[in-house]
Structure 1
């Protein structure tokens, strides 16, 4: 079972915001989350399905 398309960006933002205040306190230290890119989401095109009586 995979994660929803918004779960990974939301978790990334949460962790990044938690680490950010401490990353700037030490000279030369950067937030490790800033170096990690988010995965690309694939667009899934569903074929339209219609129900017909009968």
Structure 2
């Protein structure tokens, strides 16, 4: 699931810049949080993306 989310966001960034998807390089840091504050199962991502495509 994480790979799909990263590909979609990287593709969107490449489209915004007008660069070919194969040559676009994006940067991101992702933390996967599995539990909520009440120790309930709540899988979600915290993502930080660089503002640009290189």
TM-score above 0.5? no
TM-score between both structures, scaled by the size of structure 2: 0.33
Higher helix proportion, which one? 1
| Larger CA Rg, structure 1 vs 2 | 1
TM-score between both structures, scaled by the size of structure 1: 0.33
